[in-house]
Structure 1
Amino acid sequence: MNKELVEQLITDALGENSPLFLISLEFLVDNKISIIIDGDEGVPLNECIRLSRAVESELDREEEDFSLEVSSPDVTKPLIVFRQFKKNIGRTLSVKTAEEKIEGKLVEVIGDDIILNWSAREPKPIGKGKVTVQKSATIPYNSIIEAKVKLIF
C-alpha cells in the first residue's frame, strides 16, 4: 500500500472542507486503512462518504486489494488533537496530567493552554462545615497525558 499517496489524498480531500481535520490514519493488517476525521462543528455523514470516495477512487483494487473505513471519533475515546479542545468548549472534561487528575468545564483555549473551571467543597476558613468554592486551572497542552469528554446524562 502506498502510504504517501493515501496521506496526500486525505490531505487534498480535507482541504476542500476546512472545518474538517485528521485525527488518525492507520494502516492495519490485511491492507485495512482506518481514517478518523473530526470537524470544528462535528462531522456530517456525507463528509465521511466524500472522503472515502476521494481516497478510494484514486487507489486501484486490481493492483492491491484493501478495505477502507472513514469515521468520526468515538465519544468515549480521549481527545488526541489540540483542535478537538476548541470544539469542546463548554463541555466537562476529565484531564489527567503527571501531577493530578482534574474534572471541570472547559471554558477557554488560549494559545497552547486549556482552562478548566469547577466547584469544590472545602472546609470553612473559620468554624465547622464546608463551603462551595469555584476553582480554575490553566493546563498546558503538552502536559496533558489524557483528556476525555465526560458524558453527562
Structure 2
Amino acid sequence: MTPQEMDEVLDRHFAGEASHDLEAVLATLHEDVEHDVVGLGVIRGRANVAPLYQGMFDETGDESFAPISRQYGDDFLVDEVMMTQRINGDMFGVPGNGTVVTWRLLHVCEFRDGLISRENVWMDTGAIIAQLTAAQGHGTES
C-alpha cells in the first residue's frame, strides 16, 4: 500500500473512533486482525475486537488527535499523536468522572488487503493516571 492509502484507512479508523461509530471502525479492520493494546493483551479477530471498542465508546467521549509524526514502511506505519479525551467511566482503575485528559499515543499498524491487519497501541498510562488522580481532589475539568 502507498502511504496515502494507509493514511486514508487510518483516517477513517480514527474518524469512526471519534464519532463512536463501531461499524465504521470495524470496516477498517481485516477479518483476522490482531489488536494489541500494550499492557492489556492481544485480541484476534474483528468480532472479538468489537467489544473492546464498544467498551471504550461507553466509557469515553469528546476525543481528538493532534498529529506529531507518521512514518511509513512497505505495508505498515507508525503514528504518534497527542490524544485528548473525556473519561466518563473508569480507566486503569481510576474513576474518570468526566475528566478531560491528554497523553501521547503511538499506533503501529500493519496492512493487508487494504485494511488494518495488526494494530499495536502504546499509551502513556502514567500521564493518564496522574491526570485522573489529580482531578479526584479538584472536581472535573471541562
What TM-score results when the alignment is normalised by the length of structure 2?
Answer: 0.30
The structure whose RCO (Cα within 8 Å, separation 6+) is larger is 2
Greater Rg by CA: 1
